[in-house]
């Protein structure tokens, strides 16, 4: 094998591959050799400066995962039952272990592509993961995730992720102290950190937080203002909630047996400060977009007095041209305010996955079972089932298994997706009771063994 040139860049190799090796006076074998070297360099981090090797990684604080669990993780990273990787990471984080060192680069590569798995990687990859993240820009996202670190001077000198983890823990233990700590250095925080820190106040949110959040509505960063407005929406006595209720009273009124909507004609500076975004998404009417946002940030308790009706009847009222915008506003409000009663009423009208998430897990499963029994399998049903927390209850499990049998011959594509979802959401102890559905039995057995290794 020829020794690859050390000064060839990845961009050079890509260019050569595109135009052809015959035009660059090289051979395909040499290009592949050089690409292999570049790939190893990228995974190893950055080139050290001469005479200044990086300091070694800190001591690990978490115990190593059991060998069987680590072997299973390696198989999943290799493609076996890859959809179950988030469940493995979640279970490993709960029991407080770390992953084997040789699997860290693969996990960090995956996290660079898939943001949904990042939240557990800071702790699971341990000190070695952080050490690598400081060396490789592609993995630097890890530094924004919380890790298991001694408190000490973490708030003053920790990474962004460490500080968020510290504030979250303090908020859970002493809410007022956490808010006061945040207020002390608020002007010195980065915009990204300010937005993240505001969201952490959702834990044990109360009217004591209202003055701070009201002031945050004047922040220069839109994400900070939006986060503050979302939290103030959950406080029906907040100044923002009262302002929104006053607007909603003008824009939506009862008219005979229905509702009459008169959306705002302009989005003024006070509305924008309260979280109403002036520019609508493509294809959305501007006035309807403003109406939807006002309804979404109005306390749901306001409507009972304003309309004289409970949620179950309010959602049935005819609205006319703006019905969709009002329904979407109420849906967003139920989600923001975690209002289970409104979520139930709205779900009866339109079974949206996001509404299910507001309900307790047992109720999610029961309501989903009713829909599975009553409706044919389609994309909407599969999307709805994807939002039901695991493990699915007995009624939902029975209904889905019946649908799988019914649709396997006529709709194999839908049956296949149902099988994959059931494999992720059913109680893995059921693996011995679904042998007639081979793929499902294999997935459940895989999860069953996985849970044993991580228990």
Across all residues in the chain, what is the average pLDDT?
Answer: 90
* pLDDT, tens only, 340-378: 999 999 999 988 889 998 999 889 999 999 989 988 888
Please state the pTM of the whole predicted model.
Answer: 0.76
pLDDT value at residue 150: 54
Q: What's the rounded mean pLDDT across residues 116-125?
A: 92
pLDDT band at 267 (very low <50, low <70, confident <90, very high): very high
End-to-end CA distance of the chain: 48
pLDDT value at residue 43: 67
CA separation for the pair 24, 155 (Å, rounded): 54
Whether 272 has a pLDDT exceeding 90, the answer reads yes
Token digits for 113? 């592509």
Token digits for 217? 């509505």
How far apart, in Å, are the Cα atoms of 307 and each of 27, 138, 316, 394? 77, 54, 12, 39
pLDDT value at residue 420: 94
CA separation for the pair 142, 186 (Å, rounded): 23
Whether 49 has a pLDDT exceeding 70, the answer reads no
pLDDT band at 281 (very low <50, low <70, confident <90, very high): very high
Yes or no: say if 164 and 196 are a contact pair by the CB < 8 Å rule. Answer: yes
pLDDT band at 208 (very low <50, low <70, confident <90, very high): very high
Whether 399 has a pLDDT exceeding 90, the answer reads yes
pLDDT value at residue 402: 93
CA separation for the pair 229, 209 (Å, rounded): 12
pLDDT band at 46 (very low <50, low <70, confident <90, very high): low
Residue from 88, 109, 82 nearest 449 by CA: 88
Yes or no: say if 93 and 129 are a contact pair by the CB < 8 Å rule. Answer: no
Residue from 352, 439, 450, 356 nearest 404 by CA: 439
pLDDT band at 13 (very low <50, low <70, confident <90, very high): confident
Determine if the peptide bond prior to 383 is cis (ω within 30°).
Answer: no
CA separation for the pair 440, 420 (Å, rounded): 7
pLDDT value at residue 1: 46
Whether 108 has a pLDDT exceeding 90, the answer reads yes
* pLDDT, tens only, 131-189: 999 999 999 999 888 776 555 577 887 888 888 888 988 999 999 999 999 999 899 99
pLDDT value at residue 7: 66
Q: What's the rounded mean pLDDT across residues 407-418?
A: 89
pLDDT value at residue 51: 62
pLDDT value at residue 47: 58
User: Does residue 280 sit in helix, strand or coil?
Assistant: coil
């Amino acid at each position: 094998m020829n020794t690859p040139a050390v000064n060839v860049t990845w961009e050079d190799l890509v260019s050569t591959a595109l135009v052809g090796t015959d035009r660059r006076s090289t051979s395909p074998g040499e290009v592949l050799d050089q690409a292999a070297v570049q790939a190893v360099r990228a995974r190893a981090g950055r080139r050290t400066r001469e005479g200044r090797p990086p300091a070694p990684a800190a001591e690990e604080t978490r115990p190593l995962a059991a060998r069987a669990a680590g072997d299973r993780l390696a198989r999943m990273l290799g493609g076996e039952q890859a959809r179950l990787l988030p469940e493995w990471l979640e279970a490993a984080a709960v029991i407080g272990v770390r992953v084997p060192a040789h699997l860290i680069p693969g996990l960090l590569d995956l996290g660079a592509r898939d943001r949904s798995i990042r939240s557990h990687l800071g702790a699971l990859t341990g000190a070695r993961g952080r050490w690598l993240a400081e060396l490789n820009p592609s993995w630097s996202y890890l530094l924004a995730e919380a890790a298991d670190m001694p408190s000490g001077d973490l708030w003053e000198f920790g990474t962004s992720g460490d500080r968020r983890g510290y504030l979250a823990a303090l908020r859970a233990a002493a809410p007022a102290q956490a808010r006061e700590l945040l207020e002390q250095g608020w002007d010195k925080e980065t915009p990204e950190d300010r937005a993240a820190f505001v969201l952490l106040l959702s834990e044990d949110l109360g009217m004591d937080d209202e003055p701070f959040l009201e002031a945050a509505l004047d922040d220069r960063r839109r994400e900070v203002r939006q986060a503050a407005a979302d939290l103030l929406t959950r406080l029906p006595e907040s100044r923002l909630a009262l302002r929104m209720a006053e607007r909603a009273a003008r824009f939506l009124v009862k008219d005979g047996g229905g509702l009459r909507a008169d959306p705002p004609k302009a989005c003024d500076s006070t509305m924008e400060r309260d979280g109403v975004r002036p520019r609508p998404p493509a294809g959305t009417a501007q006035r309807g977009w403003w109406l939807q946002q006002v309804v979404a940030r109005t306390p749901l308790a306001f409507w009972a007095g304003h309309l004289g009706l409970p949620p179950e009847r309010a959602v049935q009222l005819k609205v006319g041209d703006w019905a969709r915008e009002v329904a979407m506003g109420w849906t967003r409000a139920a989600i923001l305010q975690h209002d289970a009663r409104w979520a139930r009423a709205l779900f009866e009208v339109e079974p949206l996955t996001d509404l299910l998430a507001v309900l307790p897990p047992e109720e999610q499963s029961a309501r989903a079972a009713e829909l599975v029994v009553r409706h044919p399998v389609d994309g909407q049903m599969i999307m709805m089932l994807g939002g039901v927390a695991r493990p699915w209850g007995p009624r939902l499990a029975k209904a889905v298994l019946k649908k799988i049998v019914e649709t396997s011959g006529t709709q194999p594509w839908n049956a296949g997706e149902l099988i994959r979802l059931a494999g992720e959401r059913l109680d893995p102890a059921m693996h011995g009771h679904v042998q007639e559905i081979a793929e499902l039995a294999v997935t459940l057995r895989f999860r069953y063994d996985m849970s044993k290794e991580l228990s």
